[in-house]
Amino acid sequence: MSRLVVVSNRVADPRKTAAGGLAVALADTLNSTGGLWFGWSGHTVEGGLPGEGELHVQQAGDVTLATVDLSAEDHAGYYLGYSNGVLWPVFHYRLDLARFDAGYITGYQRVNRLFAQKLMPLLKPDDVIWIHDYHLIPLAAELRALGCTQRIGFFLHIPLPPQLVIAAIPQHEWLMRALFAYDLVGFQSEADLLHFSRYVQAEAGAVDLGGNRFRAFNRTVRAGAFPIGIDVDEFAALTHARDGQDMFTRIKEEYSRRKLLLGVERLDYSKGLPQRIRAFKRLLQKYPENLKSATLIQIASPSREDMDTYTDLLEELESLCGSVNGDFGELDWMPVRYIHRNVARKRLPGLYRAARVALVTPLRDGMNLVAKEFIAAQDPADPGVLVLSRFAGAAEQLQDALLVNPYDIDGMADTIQQALQMPLDERQVRHQKLLRNIRRFDVHWWRRAFLDALAGTDADAADHRRQTSMPKRQPDTLAVRESQSS
Ligand code: ADQ
């Protein structure tokens, strides 16, 4: 079996379950192939030379972890600048927040070149390389320039916007051309895949070869939608473990006389937090039976605090929560409990299970794993209701949630009220269908489907395309997919 080489901005020790997410998802494969995981060490070197950084190699069981330090200048250009000041906002449709003119691109290119130079000597001839996310789009092109001929796949964890939005990036042609250095490019949703297909044909003159294969720049790239899932069994086990149970009992007791609503995310402008607080306020105004009863726990963990757009959001959110509590709160009832902290992964499932309604209402999101974790943590006999933004990638799969438009504050308030009043039998039926979906397309399915497609045998991916119930409002997506596979 070929060795798997994973490359991502941050590297985690796959032996530590606390790492969660990608680390858990890839641990099995990395362990079974004696894999290599490569990325940034998390250290910045003040006064370090741009384009240079020390390589650290350590062993974590059968997995080799290789990480590179970055100079403070490179970190500023590559990470804060181009990745999070240009690509993150544009890919989340926020052209108003992008900072195009700061010359960050040089840092981004330099770090991708540095990573290629450090990774190349560590590669073996039959390695399969899987590169993750927007920080590393040009990495395959840099590796190819150094003579790398191994199979390379890329997975974009965030959305890909439509052609004209991508075209707002001054370097969009270079960036999208870089994707043709991969053998396989994976997206979270069919909508993202459609945007890719339209962009490459309209802007790069690519020829559609059918089967989601596109030819341009003398290379053929294959594209696909591989919606990421969670490890449902691991999450269910966490729910029943001691920390999860303790959390559940405590919260259930404390809110026994209240209707508990929950929001959990990184504090990020893509997550639609101010709109959600406004919708909750509207709910209290419009449906006064919720006064002294409905309580929203909003957990927003600190994220990218060294960027202005994030500190502005923090202030806006604090003031919004303060005004709802000031206007509606009573001595014995605080409508919003806002917590600007991380919750330990072991305790999160207990919190999900105690909530009657989860509000997962991003303005735009690649997938959104909180939605799937909430479903996995519920008691099937008395499940909570998921209110989900139609603009989260997860909405393509989770059609049995209550889907909302997060920009429509009034509409959201109505849907939250519907969720709070949903009868038990409807909650059970919806939950059953949602659980079936996240169980079938879990994180192991995702990893297998992507790696099989990269190896050229994608039975699993075809299975997903047959099974996923596509949103009825996107008939054009289906048409394109069908014409490509015919
Ligand atoms: P994120 O934007 O980070 O990820 P998301 O998928 O919602 O978003 O969450 C990732 C993980 O962080 C989840 O496991 C969640 O439990 C955890 N988490 C979030 N807030 C937390 C908090 N306050 N305390 C504790 N844990 C918290 C990006 C994309 C997503 C995509 C993922 C995976 O933006 O769209 O789903 O990658 O591909």
Domain boundaries in the chain?
4-229+443-485, 232-440
Write out pLDDT tens, residues 222-278. 999 999 999 999 899 999 999 999 999 999 999 999 999 999 999 999 999 999 999
Computed over every residue of the chain, the mean pLDDT equals 91
How far is Cα 24 from Cα 250, in angstroms, rounded to an integer? Answer: 28
Using alpha carbons, select from 93, 129, 106, 87 the residue that is nearest to residue 3: 129
pLDDT beyond 50 at 468:
no
Segment 368-388 mean pLDDT: 97
% residues pLDDT > 70 (the chain): 92
Ligand 1 binding pocket (C-beta < 6 A) is 20-21, 157-158, 228, 264-266, 299, 301, 342-343, 348, 365-370, 373
* Active-site residue (options: 75, 135, 157, 464): 157
CA 441 vs. chain centroid, Å, equals 15
Instruction: Clarify whether 444 is annotated catalytic.
Output: no
For residue 59, the model assigns a pLDDT of 94
pLDDT-wise least confident of 6-20, 83-97, 223-237, 279-293: 6-20
Superfamily name and number for 4-229+443-485: Glycogen Phosphorylase B; (3.40.50.2000)
For residue 302, the model assigns a pLDDT of 84
Instruction: Clarify whether 157 is annotated catalytic.
Output: yes
End-to-end CA distance of the chain: 32
Q: What is the DSSP letter of 296?
A: E
Cα radius of gyration rounded to whole Å, the chain? 23
For residue 371, the model assigns a pLDDT of 98
- Testing ligand 1's pocket by substitution, the residue of 87, 266, 446 carrying the most ligand atoms inside 8 A of its CB is 266
- Residue range 232-440, CATH number: 3.40.50.2000
How far is Cα 138 from Cα 145, in angstroms, rounded to an integer? Answer: 11
* Active-site residue (options: 74, 365, 400, 442): 365
Segment 54-83 mean pLDDT: 96
Burial label for 354, CB within 10 Å (0-12, 13-18, 19+), is: buried
